[in-house]
Amino acid sequence: VRFGHDDSAAAAESAADPFSAPNFLRNLLMQESRDDDVSKRHHKLAVIATHAVMLECGFVPFDKESNAVVSGFRSPLVWPTRRLFYTLPEKNTAHGKSIQNAVLEFRISGEYSVTVNGRLDMETEKVGNHSVQFKEDQLATFMNNVLVTDSNNTNGEEVNGGAVYRFWKRVKDNLVLPLLTELRQVSCYCQKLPVDLKVEILKWLSAVDLAKATCFCYELSSIASRDDYLWKIKFVQEFGDVDKDTSTEIDCRV
Amino acid sequence: MAAETGTPTTLTLKSNDDELFSVAESAAILSVTIRNMVEDGCAGGVIPLDNVDGKTLASVITYMNGISAIPADEEKKKSYRDKFLSDKDFETLADMVLAANYLNMSCLMDAVSAKIAQVMEKKSVGWVRRKFGIENDYTPEEEAAVKEEHKWTFEGVETDDDN
């Protein structure tokens, strides 16, 4: 893992790439953990990135003590607190009712691994517990992906944000969507489908229509441009099953 | 596991909104999830399907009965699937993808997702957004940029038929 990355160079790069979640994460991480060691950076990355997926899917941060929505962006890293509360804007305005929350708990499960547990913050009803574990190697690849995006990085095959995409997909399908569904806040039937099932649908599209799906919205753009599995299928359909060694070297994504 | 009298075994399935459905075991075990329960001997009473609502389950059972009544003839099965899915709107299809995934029914999963993809083929970006309820979350500048970059994918797109 390379750390001595220059911040201003990073800012310049991020301006060049409009779809760069890695660059955003990198800048945030640099601000947050200038002096931390590697394991702490791994933990913080898991927290910040999970937080970002929650916000992307419509959750807002919630302050349990003041019982109010936290307005504006605030970094979720008030260590050593590792519990984060969220609510949905609609739930917050329901007068007379207690505000429904989702709570995420981050547990460090080994020097470099993190487990995230998510559930609704309710005592009475039966609530599901959803959990995602990020192992050391996954977080390390993710970290690499975030910190090093320059194309002359020859040792990593992941210069295109593949690890970020996989992280996003896991958090969204296993944590965020189940929580949203339990809060019964999934109004749009398109949102109901987990990323995995969207991939199952998109794989039936022709390569041209799959590339066009990039234009629909951010989410489909990420899936259509980042999912290796999808593009491997399309590659094989167009060009036949070429030698494995060759196919791994060709970036067949659009 | 047919009963000794020779009458086919029926299973009772319960949707997440508490509707009960009777279905022949031979048809229900198209779902690997249900088949595993039957094989593990836990299908004696009512089988609760927590992730499927009554409307969707009714549809899935219609499919189970229909497809299992067709002998091993892939052509006929395919034409049954096409006909079965022909009048379904996207909301129903999306629910069926979720159900087919939960019930582990690969033939239904493939048929429904292929159907959704087929509806999207050669359609304009705007048409697909309207039809599938996809919210355009690009800024106007971003949208112009992404469309410019993918202009080549708009060749051969059909004219919208909904306005």
CB proximity B150 to A under 8 Å: yes
Q: With a threshold of 0.85, tell me whether the complex ipTM lies above it.
A: yes
Q: Is residue B28 part of a domain?
A: yes
Q: Residue B80: pLDDT above 90?
A: yes
B62 and B113 inside one domain: yes
Q: Is residue B94 part of a domain?
A: yes
B79 and B47 inside one domain: yes
- Please report, for chain A, the start and end positions of each structural domain, with discontinuous segments joined by +: 23-149+158-187, 189-239
- Comparing C-alpha atoms, which of B123, B135, B108, B105 is closest to residue B159? B123
B129 and B75 inside one domain: no
B25 and B58 inside one domain: yes
Q: Number of Cβ pairs closer than 8 Å across A and B?
A: 84
Q: Mean pLDDT of all residues in chain A?
A: 72
In this structure, what are the phi and psi dihedrals at residue A200, rounded to the nearest 5 degrees?
-60, -35
B96 and B129 inside one domain: no
Q: Residue A89: pLDDT above 50?
A: yes
Q: Is residue B147 part of a domain?
A: yes
| Residue from B112, B134, B152 whose CB has the most chain A CBs within 10 Å, to mutate | B134
| Residue from A19, A216, A225 whose CB has the most chain B CBs within 10 Å, to mutate | A216
Q: Do A220 and B134 touch (CB under 8 A)?
A: yes
B70 and B143 inside one domain: no
What is the residue range of B82's domain? Answer: 2-120
B105 and B132 inside one domain: no
Mean pLDDT of A109-136: 78
B116 and B137 inside one domain: no
Q: Residue A114: pLDDT above 80?
A: yes
Question: What is the layout of strands, in order, in the sheet containing A102-108?
Answer: A68-69, A60-63, A83-87, A102-108, A114-120, A130-134
Q: State pTM to two decimals.
A: 0.71
Count the neighbouring beta carbons within 10 Å of the beta carbon of residue B62. Answer: 12
How many domains, chain B? 2
B116 and B130 inside one domain: no
Q: For A100-166, give the DSSP string.
A: P-EEEEEEE-SSS-EEEEEEE--SSS----EEEEE-HHHHHHHHHHHH---TT--S-S-TTSHHHHH
CA distance B30 to A17: 47
Taking only the tens place, the pLDDT of each residue in A173-186 is 899 888 887 776 55
Residue of B nearest to A18 (CA): B142
Q: Is residue B163 part of a domain?
A: no
Cα of A2 to nearest chain B Cα, Å: 32
Q: How confident is the model at residue A164 (pLDDT cuts 50, 70, 90)?
A: confident
Q: Do B97 and A193 touch (CB under 8 A)?
A: yes
Cα of B7 to nearest chain A Cα, Å: 38
B114 and B134 inside one domain: no
CB proximity B82 to A under 8 Å: no
Q: Is residue B160 part of a domain?
A: no
Q: Is residue B162 part of a domain?
A: no
B107 and B130 inside one domain: no
Q: Is residue B161 part of a domain?
A: no
Determine the straight-line distance between the first and last CA of chain B, rounded to whole angstroms: 55
Q: Which residues of A touch B144 (CB under 8 A)?
A: none
CATH class of A23-149+158-187: alpha beta
Q: What CATH number did the domain enclosing B56 receive? A: 3.30.710.10
B74 and B150 inside one domain: no
Q: Is residue B159 part of a domain?
A: no
Which pLDDT value is given to residue B67? Answer: 93
